[in-house]
Amino acid sequence: MATFVQSAGFPILIPILLFFFPSVNSAAAATSSPPISALLLLYVFFGLLLTGDNLMYSYGLLYLPVSTYSLLCATQLAFNALFSFLLNSQKFTSLIINSLFLLTVSASLLAVNSDSDNSTKISKGKYVIGFLCTLGASAGYSLYLSLLQLSFEKVIKSENFRVVLEMQIYPSFIATCGCVVGLFASGEWSGLKTEMNDYKEGSVSYVMTLVWIAIAWQICSVGILGLIFEVSSLFSNVISTLGLPVVPVLAVIFFGDKMDGVKAIALLLALWGSISYVYQHYLDDSKSKAKARFVVSANDGSGNV
Interval 222-253: pLDDT, tens: 888 888 888 777 778 777 777 766 766 776 77
Helices (H) and strands (E) in the chain, counts: 12, 0
Residue 220 to residue 145: CA distance in whole angstroms: 14
Q: Please tell me the predicted confidence (pLDDT) of residue 117.
A: 47
pLDDT digits (tens, 9 = 90+) for 99-149: 778 877 876 776 666 554 444 567 778 888 888 898 899 889 889 988 988
Q: Please tell me the predicted confidence (pLDDT) of residue 218.
A: 92
Greatest CA span in the chain, whole angstroms? 79
**Helix 161-186 vs helix 36-63: crossing angle, to nearest 10:** 50
Residue 9 to residue 11: CA distance in whole angstroms: 6
CB 262 within 8 A of CB 109: yes
Say which range, 40-54, 187-201, 272-286, has the weakest mean pLDDT. 272-286
Residue 123 to residue 144: CA distance in whole angstroms: 31
pTM, two decimals, is: 0.74
Residue 128 to residue 123: CA distance in whole angstroms: 9
Residue 263 to residue 278: CA distance in whole angstroms: 23
Residue 263 to residue 301: CA distance in whole angstroms: 57
Amino acid found at 195:
E
Distances (CA, A) of 263 to 106, 117, 119, 232: 9, 17, 20, 28
Residue 132 to residue 215: CA distance in whole angstroms: 28
Count other Cβ atoms within 10 Å, centred on residue 253: 10
Residue 156 to residue 29: CA distance in whole angstroms: 11
Residue 160 to residue 169: CA distance in whole angstroms: 15
Which is nearest to 60 in space by CA: 6, 106, 128, 107?
A: 128
Rg of the chain over CA atoms, in angstroms?
A: 22
Q: Please tell me the predicted confidence (pLDDT) of residue 27.
A: 47
